[in-house]
Amino acid sequence: MAFEEGLRTLVLSNGSVAGLIGTRLYPNKLPQSPTYPAVVYERVGSSAVRRLGGGANRIRPRIRFHCWAETYGAAKNTAEALRDLLDGYRGAAGAFQIDDSTFETDIDDYDDDAKVHRVIIDFRLSHPES
């Protein structure tokens, strides 16, 4: 199981987030004609945490969530629910154990073509190398 799949399981098992988006959490892109609010997640980078004498024993992916909604308030509420869940989170994410999760940044956006709001929120997580 990929780390992102475990993270998806974690997010959808949270009542606050699931209460806003249901199961509308998608890897990399929205489906055609989506129902809102919805969230897209993607890995936008990672780094290895090196130990003395050699290889990495931890991976630190940066995960970006795009919170889409028809209103700014709904997009912001979804981002805040994700932040409440993930900022400082330590625990299971599917088969992975998250050792640390840190909020990094958020960006507000509006898509003129689709007429929907988006809040982008990034986290840096740490988990053992598989």
* Segment 6-18, tens digit of pLDDT: 999 999 999 999 9
pTM: 0.92
- Read off the tokens for 96: 């992975």
Tell me how far apart the alpha carbons of residues 98 and 73 are, in angstroms, rounded to a whole number.
29
| pLDDT value of position 116 | 98
Question: Order of strands across the sheet with 116-128?
Answer: 25-27, 38-51, 54-69, 116-128, 100-111
Number of structural domains in the chain = 1
- Domain hosting 115: range is 3-128
Predicted local confidence at residue 20, as pLDDT: 98
Instruction: Decide if 20 contacts 77 (C-beta within 8 A).
Output: yes
Q: What is the pLDDT of residue 30?
A: 97
User: Would you say residue 25 has pLDDT above 70?
Assistant: yes
pLDDT at position 1, please? 52
> What CATH number is given to the structural domain containing 58?
3.30.2000.10
In the predicted model, what is the mean pLDDT of residues 93-117? 94
